[in-house]
Amino acid sequence: MRDGQSHHPEVAMKVTPSSVLVDEQAKALAFHADVLGFVMKLDLPAGEYPAEHATPSLTTRRWRRSTCASVAVLDVDHHHGNGTQDIFWERADVLVVSLHGTPETEYPYLLGYADERGAGAGEGFTHDFPLPRGTTWAQYSAAFDSALDAVARIVPDALVVSLGVDTYVGDPISAFALEREHFPLMGRSLAQLRLPTVFVLEGGYAVEDLGPNASGVLGGFDAGH
């Protein structure tokens, strides 16, 4: 999801108090997790729900306005989080970190280079990790560890994960080569940050694999605590 610039159908995760999983795809993902006393709920499609429940940037802003002095957004969708980056470009209270296909060859092409670092008060609070076509877990995990280090360094009060699983090798529109076994490893590493965390489900177009891969991340996160 790209904050009003939806380039393809996406899946959104909504956080509501004491929600239960109700729809079929949410059941397929079969995940419950307590985060800040909430139960995550997967809702499809995103367009049926108020936008404030469905985007990383609005989730982040809601947290900033309530209990959190600083929030980190970590975007692992294959496509660069250009909208989120733009929104928080000049802010020091929101760290934006994105791993994505290099804009040299991948949508949305214009943004997401490693030298994009934010501006003004926000200088140094944007970190982009562009990766080439065919990126494997060995390459990805090295960048992912650097991304986690960037998050840990600022000691945020909370973490919003833009969880795209279109990094999967079988994804029909993306170009990375992560295997199913790697998604739980991602979740386990995220858990090591020990932060209140919300996952906003983003891309993933290998439809049969979306559920197992997304729940792999969430299961790894759950097991990592």
Residues that bind Zn ion (CB under 5 A): 77-79, 164, 166, 203
Nearer to Zn ion, 82 or 122 (CB): 82
Residue 121 and residue 74: Cα distance in Å, rounded? 19
- Residue whose beta carbon is closest to Zn ion: 203
Considering only CA atoms, which of 157, 70, 75 is closest in space to residue 122?
Answer: 70
Q: What span, in angstroms and rounded, lies between the C-alpha atoms of 84 and 163?
A: 13
Q: What does the alpha-carbon distance between residue 194 and residue 84 come to, in Å, rounded to a whole number? A: 23
Q: Which is nearer to Zn ion, 174 or 215 (CB)?
A: 174
Shortest reach from residue 77's CB to Zn ion, in Å:
4
State the nearest-atom distance from the C-beta of 173 to Zn ion, in Å. 8
Closest CA to 75 of 87, 63, 67: 87
Q: Which two tokens stand for residue 106?
A: 């991948």
Q: Report, in Å, the least distance between residue 43 CB and Zn ion.
A: 18
- Between 77 and 128, CB nearer to Zn ion: 77
CB closer to Zn ion out of 163 and 195: 163
Provide, rounded to whole angstroms, the least separation between the CB of residue 83 and Zn ion: 12
Radius of gyration (C-alpha) of the chain in whole angstroms: 16
